[in-house]
Amino acid sequence: ISSKWDPRGALIVFEGLDRCGKTSQCSRLLSSLERLGHSVESWRFPDRDTGVGQMISSYLSNQSQLDDHAIHLLFSANRWEKRSLMEAKLKSGTTLIVDRYAYSGVAFSSAKGLDIEWCKAPELGLWAPDLVVYLDISPEKAAERGGYGGERYEQLEFQRKVAQSYRALSDASWKVVDATLPIGVIEAQLREMAVDCISTCQEGKSLSELWS
């Protein structure tokens, strides 16, 4: 029985284009939540450490070629293989900060032209985030930041399509944060959102599944 007597951690997901600053904000948020005394872990997808993750990594670095549908299913499988650990962590009261999740899966694959409903189907039943934060930056500004690492997808033209896919996928529950604000300002906004979300979960909000 899950109730308010059984406080759980929050599932907080960060999404955005490549070079939007997600990864550094996730690590800043991890440190500040730890400083506030929360039990918290930072995760990311793809998780390149699993067998499936190694296949994904080799695809992203252009060392292997895969059909668009096949790689889509691998990204999804990579989340499914972490689902039960995710549940255990959340139910034991640990908050998870997750750098990319199912929304990336759908946004990047549908940007290639795959049907959006087809893309959403394999994600059905994964844990639904308690909070989705979208770090908003234009594809042009993100490209100006430089440092596209030469991985697959890291090209302006493709990122424009990804931005459109994210727009199609987003809903009113997403918190959109201007990713061009000073780092410290973004950090403060994210901390406030996360702390609010954590208290809602501690008050007994139950875990739900995608696509709810």
Give the residues lining the site for ligand NYM (CB under 6 A): 18, 45-46, 60, 75, 100, 104-105, 108, 153
**108 or 166: whose CB is closer to ligand NYM?**
108
Contact 134, 177 (CB under 8 A): yes
Please state the closest distance from residue 121 (CB atom) to ligand NYM, in A: 14
Please state the closest distance from residue 203 (CB atom) to ligand NYM, in A: 30
Q: Edge-to-edge, what's the strand order for the sheet holding 131-136?
A: 40-44, 95-99, 11-16, 131-136, 175-178
Contact 45, 101 (CB under 8 A): yes
Please state the closest distance from residue 199 (CB atom) to ligand NYM, in A: 28
Sign of the dihedral defined by the CA atoms of residues 95, 120, 45, 49, in that order: positive
**75 or 134: whose CB is closer to ligand NYM?**
75
Contact 100, 14 (CB under 8 A): yes
Please state the closest distance from residue 132 (CB atom) to ligand NYM, in A: 13
C-alpha gyration radius of the chain: 17
**38 or 139: whose CB is closer to ligand NYM?**
139
Q: Can you tell me whether residue 48 is helix, strand or coil?
A: coil
CA–CA separation, 158 vs 111, rounded Å? Answer: 7
**19 or 38: whose CB is closer to ligand NYM?**
19
Please state the closest distance from residue 75 (CB atom) to ligand NYM, in A: 3
